[in-house]
Structures are given as C-alpha cells and as structure tokens.
Amino acid sequence: MENEIFKSLFQIVNFFNDPKHDIELLRKAGIKGDQNLLSIIVRVGMAKTINIGDLAKQVGKNHSSTSRQIDKFEKQGLLKTTYNNKDKRIREISLTKEGSNLFHLISEVRLELFNKILSEINPAEAKKINDGLSLLSDILQRIENE
C-alpha cells in the first residue's frame, strides 16, 4: 500500500510542479510575466510572511536565485521585504496590496480550475479526498514541527 500512496503523491506533485499548469493559470488570470511569479506569490500569500531561506527551499532553488526573484517582484510592487527583528541577516517577505490582489485573482482562477476537476466526481468522493489529504497534511505538519 505504501508504494501505491507514494505513486499517487508523486503524480500529484508532478501535476502541480508542471510549469505548463502555472502558465495556463496565469494566462486564464490575464497575467503576463515571469513563470516564477506564480509559485512565489502563492507561497508568500499562503504563508503571509516567509523568509528567503524557507521560500528557496520550497521552490527548490538556491538562496541567491530566490533573492534575485524577490528583488525583481519587489521592484514591480508585488512584494515587500523587511529584516527580522532578532536576526538582521534574515529578510522576511510579504505581499503588498497589489501582490495580495494578484494572489486573490490567482486563487479565484485556481478555484475555477479545481471546480472543473472536482466536477468529475460526486460530493462523497470529494469529501473522501479532502479527508484523506487533510489527514496526510496534519501528519506531515506534525513531523515537520518535531
């Protein structure tokens, strides 16, 4: 069973990591620009505030590459950075008002796409998926916090 779970998770991760889906989502939202924009805006929007090191780990890029992307999006008025009060070496990132508006637009388009996907199954199946993913998410969060 563990192998089947891993295969399913692998397929899901590959689906969400496929840049063509990000490009399509940005296109449907009417957003032109860098394909790195989506993953950064969504992660910062979900976290509310995140440091560059943690963001770099999440997007699978090195610190300096991520920092350059942050600088670019900050110049575009989408992100703002501040330095951590306890450790001035740590830059913390959050969304500006414009970045927050973009995050909400992306979320609305993503919801439309998810509704299309979920329309393929009945509500009971959707609830099973939600329950299973919520359980797995809780377990992973517990492990991460240990």
Place of tokens 């830059």: 91
Place of tokens 């560059």: 52
Q: What dotted CATH number matches 19-119?
A: 1.10.10.10
pLDDT of residue 89: 87
State which H helix or E strand residue 3 sits in: helix 2-17
Check whether 124 has a pLDDT greater than 80.
yes
Cα separation, 20 vs 76, in Å, equals: 23
pLDDT of residue 3: 87
Domain definitions of the chain by residue range: 19-119
Q: Which amino acid is at 23?
A: I
Residue 76 dihedral angles phi and psi, to the nearest 5°: -80, -5
Encode pLDDT of 54-113 as tens digits. 999 999 899 999 999 999 999 999 999 999 888 888 999 999 999 999 999 989 988 888
CA dihedral 68, 72, 75, 81 (to 10 degrees): -50
Contact 102, 25 (CB under 8 A): no
Task: Output the CA–CA distances (angstroms, integers) from residue 140 to 13, 143, 145, in the order listed.
Answer: 15, 5, 9
pLDDT of residue 103: 93
pLDDT of residue 117: 84
pTM of the model: 0.82
